[in-house]
Amino acid sequence: MLKEKKISIVIFPGSNCDRDLFVALEKCLGTKPEFIWHNCSHIKSTDMILIPGGFSFGDYLRAGIIATKSPAIREVIRFSKKGVPIIGICNGFQILIECGLLEGALIKNSNQLFKCEKVNLKVINNKTIFTKNYKLSEIISLPIAHSQGNYFIKPDKLKKIEDNDQIIFKYSSDFGDVTEKYNPNGSVNNIAGISNKKKNVIGLMPHPERAIENFHNGIDGIKFFKNLKDLI
């Protein structure tokens, strides 16, 4: 029998989507993830790490920055170098950006307001380990809930990540138009999710874990997590 693979969820003081993520993984993959507290300085082994949404350390200073000073982040970086898949959702995305695993910055939404609503995403890269079961340009719909999700990257760097297919999701209309009208927060080129160069680290602002029940506003999160099945 294969040894059961281990999924880890790293939590920080102020994380608040950890339970939701746990529930989603349990429901979609049938495995129970383990929680890693932020001050854990040694993760013995893990096959995938997820960083949940919320307000780590109150989002003080800049969302995600203070969390990068926690010991567990050094471990996340160590595992990322080994090629272990890492996923950051919302605040998790912000943390991955602040700790340098992903490029760019997430600044305040262009209208200064927190925004909670359902958005459509267009799959821009379906060749990553996280997205290979999507069709190219498939439209999925997921909720967002954030005030600092405005993705910024300098034009030269943008070109680089584009050329290297690191843009994974963009905000779009139901029909896949990627235009300003469907940009909820001011992100450069409607970018909603990106990966690192090696494509084993991914971050996205929307919340797949909030779209997994029939009573949710859509269930496209299920597919997002089921995509991970092959990884564990």
Partner 1 sequence: MKKEITKKILKDHNINSEEYNMILAIMGREPNLLELGIFSVMWSEHCSYKSTKKWLKTLPTTGKKVVCGPGENAGIIDIDDNDAIVFKMESHNHPSFIEPYQGAATGVGGIMRDVFTMGARPIANLNSLRFGDPKHEKTKNLLRGVVKGIGDYGNCVGIPTVGGECFFHENYNNNILVNAMSVGLVKKNKIFYSTAKGIGNPIIYVGSKTGRDGIHGATMASAEFSDESENQRPQVQVGDPFIEKLLLESCLELMNEDVIVAIQDMGAAGLTSSSFEMASKGNCGVKLLLDKVPCRETEMTPYEMMLSETQERMLMIIKPEKKKITYDIFQKWGLDAVEIGKLTDSGKMELFYNNKLVGALPIKPLADLSPEYDRPSIKPKKRKNYLKKKSNSKINLEKVLKKILSGPNHSSKSWIFNQYDSSVMGDTIFSSEMADAAVIRIHKTNKAISVTSDCNPIYCKSDPRRGAEIAVAESWRNLISTGAEPVAITDNLNFGNPEKKEIMYEIKESISGIKKACIELDYPVVSGNVSLYNETNGKSIFPTPVIGGVGLIKKLKYATGFKMDDDSYIYLIGKTKGHLESSLFYEHLKIFGGSPPKVDFKEEKKNGNFVKFLAQKTELLIGCHDISEGGIALALAELCIANKKGIEITLKKNNPEKFLFGEDQSRYLLIINKKKEFESLAKKNNIENERIGFVTGAFLNFKNLFSISVDALLKLNSSWFKGFIK
Partner 2 sequence: MIFRVYVNFKDGILDPEAEAIKQTIANMGLKSVKNLVKGKFFDIEVGDKKNHLSEIEKISKDLLANPIIENFKIVKK
Can you name the residues that pair with 7 across neighbouring β-strands? 48
What would the two tokens of residue 12 be?
Answer: 């920080």
**38 has catalytic annotation:** no
Q: Binders of partner 2: how many residues, by CB under 8 A? A: 21
Considering only 78-86, 95-103, 161-169, 211-219, which stretch makes contact with partner 1 by CB under 8 A? 211-219
Element (H, E) at 77: helix 71-81
Using DSSP, state whether 89 is helix, strand or coil: strand
Contact call for residue 110 and partner 2 (CB under 8 A)? yes
What separation in angstroms does the CA of 67 have from each of 20, 32, 90, 185, 223?
Answer: 20, 24, 13, 23, 29
Q: Which of 12, 57, 93, 130 binds partner 2 (CB under 8 A)?
A: 57
Cα separation, 179 vs 197, whole angstroms: 26
Question: How far is Cα of residue 63 from the mean position of the Cα atoms in its chain?
Answer: 14
Considering only 12-20, 42-50, 99-107, 191-199, which stretch makes contact with partner 1 by CB under 8 A? 12-20
Min separation Cβ 209 and partner 1, Å:
7
The alpha-carbon radius of gyration of the chain (Å, integer) is: 16
Q: Which does 104 bind (CB under 5 to 8 A by kind): partner 1, partner 2, none?
A: partner 2
User: Which residues within the stretch 137-176 sit at the binding site for partner 2 (CB under 8 A)?
Assistant: 150, 152, 154
| DSSP 8-state assignment for residue 199 | S
Considering only 64-72, 135-143, 207-215, 222-230, which stretch makes contact with partner 2 by CB under 8 A? 64-72
Give the count of beta carbons closer than 10 Å to the beta carbon of residue 102. 27
Contact call for residue 75 and partner 2 (CB under 8 A)? no
- Hey, CA dihedral for 91, 67, 226, 152, is it positive or negative? positive
Of 17, 28, 90, 99, the catalytic one is 90
Which residues make up the interface to partner 1 (CB under 8 A)?
13-14, 16-17, 19-20, 23-24, 53-55, 57-60, 113-117, 143, 145, 147, 207, 209-210, 212-213, 215-217
Catalytic positions are 90, 207, 209
Which residues make up the interface to partner 2 (CB under 8 A)?
57-58, 60-62, 65-66, 69, 98, 104-105, 107-112, 150, 152, 154, 186
